[in-house]
Structure 1
Amino acid sequence: MPANRHFASRLARALTRLFGGEAGAGLLLILAAVLAMLAANSVLSGAYHALLHAPLPWAPIRKLETAHLWINDAVMAVFFFVVGLEIKRELLVGELSTPAQRRLPVLAAIGGMAVPALIYLAVAGGEPGLARGWAIPAATDIAFAVGVLALLGKRAPPALRLFLLTVAIVDDLGAVAIIALFYTAQLKLAWLGGGAAILAAMALLGRFRVERGWPYVLLAIAAWYCVLHSGVHATVAGVLAAFTIPLKLDHKGDSLLLRMEHALVPWSAYFVVPLFGFANAGVELAGGAGFGALPLGIALGLLLGKPIGILGAILLARAFKLAEPPPASHQQLAGMAMLCGIGFTMSLFIGALAFPGQAALIDEAKLGVLAGSLVSALCGFTLLRFAPQRG
């Protein structure tokens, strides 16, 4: 019995180390994706698709009549709200708060979004109806990429982790802008105006230094509801609502934004994102999606476009004396750039927006995202694991 307790204690400590912190979020996301793939390619396939896509017995919001729609359009708003909080904090008091700090991550993120899009268009853009997917390989999954980096421990220097994080945050801001500008249906101005008015009211709460969270939460839900019916994707409301949360520190060095971020980050990392991964990563491989131009363009965009764009931007910035790269070896920088090719969450999300109502194309896009993200993760991990510690 004591031996059993000793083994159980060691196992508990190992699981805590494994699933705690940044590595845990990435591992849970991988596990959710694997479970989705297994479910979609087994005898559970029918139950998996029925669970997600069958009409709900009762839907309080007509536009959200399936579990899949609730996850993608409602639950994911929490993820985007957390992204908005992180972006605002970094821009005001964090690693993106000065022009000098912003310069290299912004340039690297622009290169890391533009080159994958160009590669995708070169491979798949000529096929009828596929050009709309150009933004799918332009995104980076923060949780997945930072999780893989965390698995490396001291093999990845802190400066490299910080640079990857700032590039991914700028990348997220770009992805949100792309969703708002390029994947918007026909606008309904009355609903859009209602959402804008509510967001303005939230900004006024911040101006008058209202520090209680519940008024912001209620108004954020109302803004989400208006944006859901406006033609702009509802999750954009999450980011915009987060920008209204006050960051001004009190005498204890605390603020409403920091408290909200602290409370919501675990929910986002350990529930929302894995749930989204499980709901969206299930692709039927047998007789389903084929590896044609669409998945090939996405996979090559993530695998080649991301590192070429990011490393190219770093080299150009150094050549023109705009910014210096982070202190790391060339191989470490290459490994970090490869990890940015893990598109997963944001890429799957944009894939569903790019081809609405086209299940076959969405499945092909998922296949490309999964393949490109997996190979990018393995290559990035390998490069960093065996990289020299000094450049």
Structure 2
Amino acid sequence: MNPLFYLLGICLLACNSVQPPKTEAENILSQDTMECSALYPFDNYYIDLNENNAVLIDGIPAIDFKKCSKYAHRFVNPISDSVLCNGRTFVVEKNKEKGIYIMHIYEGQKRLNTVQLPVENPLPEVHEYYFNLLPYKNDVIMMMEDMYTTHFVICKYNAEGKELMRKEIEHTFVTHPEPNTNYHHRYLYFYNLTATQMIFSSSIGFAEKAKTLVLSMDDFSTTEFDITASGLILDENDENLAGFVSKDNDKYLVRLLNNEKYEFEIKNGDPACDFILKDKLLFIANYHSIATGSSLYCFDLQTRKMKWTADVKQVNASHSEYSNKVTLSMFKGKIIMEGDEASGKYVQLFDSKTGKRLAVFGSFMNE
């Protein structure tokens, strides 16, 4: 063989095999998980999600699982009467006695603008306005509700305070059982957020009309469904809506937006659910928002059967005034289940393939 061709071949092989070094971000993306930290903050310490144990760390890490993972939005509530957007602070000022309902825009200590909020003018004799702000991309969304009217009013403002769009959404219908008598039937409530949508749904226990409404925060278009949501299913990126679950006694109907439908059963199931969708598996946390207790399941969408039921350690509290919220997330092959009950908080780790409980952290009434 000609030595020149031999050397050229080696050079070509070398050039094809050598890759430029990956950046830190590319290394993170190339892992089998999109998570950027194994440190899960809980109570006054951190849980090492790789080792399944508690660790004490000097100082506060720059990043942790609840801040940088794709599930980070599950641990924060971006809605408030004061929000930061594009370096500017938007603040609602409300004074019912003086009839003041305005929004101030600040940059640092300087007030740039004051916006009159869209209350009725003149103000009705009986009213009780509530306002919430939400930063979205480069704008701010304002949601207004009067306890004595029938609609939500939702507006989008730019950074200067200019109103870009407005939408009214009915939450109450009115009947007239007797002449000159109005009877208000409240049925729709704000439910939750996705990365690009606001979700409203009827109350499981009290609504006289079943409805779930999805509002696009981009163009304020809406889509309606004649169901009451027990929980939302997000896509595998945990960003946008993939479907709903509604409850009928012990049966739960899964309705995906691609028109697929599934059904599973939980004996003596509770009305609230939190979900993770991963590789055609639906991980389900089931609980009641005003009672102690929780459960965890894995439903296989391909076989249409429950794959496993986890052994969840219970707080087992007894209390007349109770609150309960369960939040699911996932790290590699582990399901993270965090419960925040009025009588105790916990984090429990489970193997996503088998449902085996790997670790428990927190406070329990029987300990």
Give the structure, 1 or 2, with the largest relative contact order (CA under 8 Å, sep 6 or more).
Answer: 1
Indicate the structure (1 or 2) with the bigger Cα radius of gyration.
2
TM-score for both structures, normalised by structure 1: 0.24
